[in-house]
Chain A
Amino acid sequence: MTTKSIERFSFAERASHWTSALCFLYAAFTGLALWSPRLFWLSGVFGGGETVRAWHPWGGLFFFLALGVMFRRWARQMQLDEDDQVWLAKSHLYAQHIEAGIPESGRFNAGQKMMFWLQSASAFFLLLSGVVIWFPEFAPRPLRLGAILLHPVCAAVSMGGIMVHFYMSTMAVPGSMGAMVRGTVSAGWARSHHGKWFREMGGR
C-alpha cells in the first residue's frame, strides 16, 4: 500500500466536467418532462411547464458549451490508437475484469474515448436539432419534422451513455469518483487502470 497520490484531473477539467454534468442532468430531466405527457409531472419539479419550455434550451446550450471546454482540452488525447482497437475488440473481457491480453491504457482507456466521442457527437446533433425546436416559428416544416426525430434519438443515445458512465464511475470502478471530485488518484489506482499513463507520469 502507498499513500502516494497522483493528479488525474486539473481544476479546469473538473470544473468543466461538473458544469456540463449539472447542465446535462437539468436538460435531461426537463427534456423528459417535454418528451411525454406521462412524464410532464417532472416539469412541476423544475418550476412548471412554461419555465421548462423557456429554460430547457438554455440548459442544453450551457451543457454544450461546458462540453466544448472538455472537447478542446481532450480531443487530441481521445484519439484511438492501435492498442485501443485491441482493447475494444476485447472489451467483453474488460467487462468481466479479465486483464490478460488487454493492452494497458493511457490517460483514457478506449471505453472512455468511445464515451467521449459518443457524447460529443450526440451533443452536436442535439444542439442543431434543438435550435430548430427552440424557435419553431422560424423553421420550415421539413426541418422541424427532422428535428423532432433527431433530438430525442440523440437524447436517448446520450442519456443511455450517461447511465453507463454513471454506473462505471460510482460503482464499477472505485476511485474514479475521487479522481473527478478531488482530482487525485492513488498510484496503485493509476497503475491498475491506466498503466501506460502511470509510467508516463514517472511511476514504476
Chain B
Amino acid sequence: MTVAKLIDTSLCIGCKACEVACQEWNDQEFTLGVFNNTYQTQPDLTSNFWNLIKFNEHVDDGVNSWLMAKYQCMHCADAGCLKACPAPGAIVQLPNGIVDFNQDNCIGCGYCITGCPFDVPRLSSVTKKVYKCSLCSDRVAAGMTPACIRTCPTNCLTFGSRTDMVQLATARTAELKEDGFKDAGIYDGPGVGGTNVLYVLKHASEPEKYGLPKDPRIPWAVSLWKGPLKWVANAAFLGTAVGAMLHYLKFGPKETHDDEIH
C-alpha cells in the first residue's frame, strides 16, 4: 500500500507544532538560523531542519494574508534524488512509496540535491552527509503516523493510504470551490509520477505563490546524464577498445627501420 501525507494548506494556522514535532522525533538539535523579517522559523530547509512552514505573503483585493505551505520532501514516485545517486543503498524507495535516505551509505556527493526538482535535500557541513524528511519511515513501519501529522491541531495534516488521501483531497477541493475558491485544486506533481505528499491549494493554478514549483520534473540534464549519455560513453569506450584490437590484428606494430644508421 502506498502511503501519503495530505497537506490542506487552507487549514494551516502557522502554529509550527509540526516543525517542533519533527525536530523532537528526529532528535535534531535546533541551531539558531537566519531571521529574515518574516514569521518563518528560518528562510529555508537545512540539514537538521527538514520541515518548514513557509509564510508566503499574499495580497488579495487589498487584504493581506498568508498562504501557508508546509515544505518538506515530496516523496516522488519518480524520485530525482534516487536517479542521481551513485551510491547503492544511500537512497531507497520503500514499497510504501517513502523515499528514505540511509546516511550509512551516503558518500556526500550532493548529486541528489541537483536531481531533486523541489530542492529539498541538504548537505551537512559537519557530517558530510545529506539529510531530508523521511516521512518518519521508522514510525510508519511501526504502524504509527508521522510526527508532524500526529501533532497537527487543525486537521490540516492527514496521513493514510494514497488512495484515501486523494479522495479526501478531492472532497476538500469541492468544499473550497463551494466556498468561493474557484481556483482550488490538488497539487501532486504529475511530472514526477505523482508525489506521496499532496497539497490542497486555494490557488492551484499558481503554486509558485506557495513557494512550490509550477511543473516539477526531474531536470532534463539529470535524465540525459543518467540515461543516453551513459550508453553513448559506454559504447565509445567499447568501440575504442575493439578498434584498437582489430587494428593490431590487421596492421600490427609500426616497424622501426634500424638499417643504414651511422
Contact = CB atoms under 8 A, between A and B. Distances in A.
Same complex origin of A and B: yes
B262 A2 contact: yes
A159 interface: yes
A97 B257 CA distance: 12
A96 B255 CA distance: 11
A203 to B, nearest CB: 8
Interface in B216-236: 219, 221-222, 224-225, 229-230, 232-233, 236
A20 B221 CA distance: 30
B241 to A, nearest CB: 6
A192 B258 CA distance: 8
A144 B248 CA distance: 41
Nearest to B123: A137
Nearest to B113: A136
Interface string B244-262: 1001100111111111011
Interface string A145-159: 110110011001001
A186 B258 contact: yes
Contacts of A37: 85-88
A53 B241 CA distance: 28
B237 A163 contact: yes
B262 A152 contact: no
B31 interface: no
Interface centre among B119, B224, B254 (most CB of A within 10 A): B254
A172 B253 contact: yes
Interface centre among B88, B251, B258 (most CB of A within 10 A): B258
Interface residues of A, number: 49
Nearest to B109: A53
Contacts of A133: 109-110
Contacts of B252: 97
Contacts of A49: 86-87, 105, 107
B66 interface: no
A152 B248 contact: no
Contacts of A204: 262
B244 A164 contact: yes
A33 B105 CA distance: 14
B254 A173 contact: yes
A149 B87 contact: no
Contacts of B229: 149, 152-153
Interface centre among A4, A35, A204 (most CB of B within 10 A): A35
A193 interface: yes
A96 B222 CA distance: 41
A167 interface: yes
A35 B123 contact: no
21 contacts: A34-B109, A35-B86, A40-B87, A53-B108, A54-B128, A95-B247, A97-B251, A133-B109, A136-B110, A136-B113, A136-B123, A148-B84, A148-B221, A148-B222, A156-B232, A156-B236, A156-B237, A171-B244, A172-B244, A188-B261, A192-B255
Smallest CB-CB A-B distances: 5 pairs: A188-B258, A136-B110, A49-B107, A156-B233, A167-B244
Interface of A: 1-2, 4, 33-37, 40, 43, 49-50, 52-54, 95-97, 133, 136-137, 141, 144-146, 148-149, 152-153, 156, 159-160, 163-164, 167, 171-175, 186-189, 191-193, 203-204
